[in-house]
Amino acid sequence: MAVDVRGLTGWLRAFADSISEHAAELTQLDAAIGDADHGTNMKRGMQAVTTMLDDSEFETADALLKKVGMTLVSSVGGASGPLYGTFFLRAGTALADTTEIDAADFGAALRAGVEGMVARGKAELGDKTLYDAWAPALTAYDDAGADGDLGAALAAAAAAAARGRDETTPMVARKGRASYLGERSAGHQDPGATSTTLLLESAAASLG
């Protein structure tokens, strides 16, 4: 199955729903090692995206994803705004010249998005950030999707993200607000890695 504008829109709406549903949980995770706003931030952003989707028509995947990125950058703020925003901007850019998006194209877009995010946030593996969910997810996607099966790739990515998310719990944060806690940040699951897992689970459910 190829990825098209309709599919992407479904994914984004599913993600918005999932964020809405988990907003309080994300905020509680952020309260423990941050400033208690990650759920509110993501919810505000994805509500803006939903409104934008209601009001717009997109011809191409890259136009859609770039607009999503801009919308997030302009509505979220905090750390997650530029990070999620950059992700979608770069993922969109990566698809600019692609008309038929297959599993490999989509994987490349995800990777480009994550690279942009890392360039912006300078996170490394083990820093206890959303990158700790993304990194294993990208690897799993490539492995499972090597033969072009998008559904398998996304399912594997989502499962790997969830494992990566769980592994953030014992980590001592080195980036973002949680890093201020030093050793006390250990023992808490990272909110950004948690929302990232929701993003990939929504993708597996709606694009897979």
Partner 1 sequence: MKKLINDPADVVKEALLGIEAAHRDRVRVDHENRIVYRADAPVQGKVGLISGGGSGHEPMHGGFVGLGMLDAACAGEVFTSPVPDQMMAATKGVDGGAGVLHIVKNYTGDVMNFEMAAEMAAADAGTEVLSVVTDDDVAVQDSLYTAGRRGVGVTVLLEKIVGAAAEEGRPLAEVADLARRVNDHGRSMGMALTSCTVPSAGKPTFDLSETDMELGVGIHGEPGRQRLPVAPAKDVAALLVDPVLQDLPYGQGDSVIAFVNGMGGTPLIELYIMFHEVSQLLEKAGVTVARSLVGSYITSLEMAGCSVTLLKADDELVRLWDAPVNTPGLRWGV
Ligand X SMILES: Nc1ncnc2c1ncn2[C@@H]1O[C@H](COP(=O)(O)OP(=O)(O)O)[C@@H](O)[C@H]1O
Q: Which residues bind Mg ion (CB under 5 A)?
A: 30, 34-35, 37-38, 78
Provide the residue count of the chain: 208
- Give yes or no for residue 195 binding partner 1 (CB under 8 A): no
- Return the percent helix, strand and coil in the chain, to nearest 5: 75, 0, 25
Dihedrals φ, ψ of 58, to 5°? -120, 135
Q: Which of 1, 6, 21, 74 binds partner 1 (CB under 8 A)?
A: 74
Using the minimum distance from each CB to ligand X, give the nearer residue, 28 or 93.
28
Q: Which of 9, 11, 37, 82 binds ligand X (CB under 6 A)?
A: 37
Using the minimum distance from each CB to partner 1, give the nearer residue, 11 or 84.
84
Instruction: Identify which range of 3-11, 27-35, 101-109, 160-168 contacts partner 1 by CB under 8 A.
Output: 27-35
Q: Are 135 and 87 in contact (CB under 8 A)?
A: no
Q: Are 36 and 17 in contact (CB under 8 A)?
A: no
184 vs 172: CA distance, rounded Å: 7
Spell 168-181 as b/e; 16+ CB within 10 A means b.
beebbbbbbbbbee
Using the minimum distance from each CB to partner 1, give the nearer residue, 10 or 77.
77
Residue 105 binding result from partner 1, Mg ion, ligand X, none, given CB thresholds of 5 to 8 Å by partner type: none
- Give yes or no for residue 37 binding partner 1 (CB under 8 A): yes
- Give yes or no for residue 9 binding ligand X (CB under 6 A): no
| Count of residues near ligand X by CB under 6 A | 23
Spell 97-134 as b/e; 16+ CB within 10 A means b.
ebeebebebbbbbbbbbbbbbbebbebeebbbbbbbbb
DSSP type of residue 44: H
Instruction: Identify which range of 4-12, 33-41, 53-61, 97-105 contacts partner 1 by CB under 8 A.
Output: 33-41
173 vs 150: CA distance, rounded Å: 33
Residues of this chain that bind ligand X (CB under 6 A): 30, 34-35, 37-38, 41, 78-80, 83, 121-123, 129-131, 175-177, 190-193
Residue ranges that bind partner 1, judged by CB under 8 A: 27-28, 31-37, 39-41, 44, 73-83, 120-121, 174-177, 179-182, 184
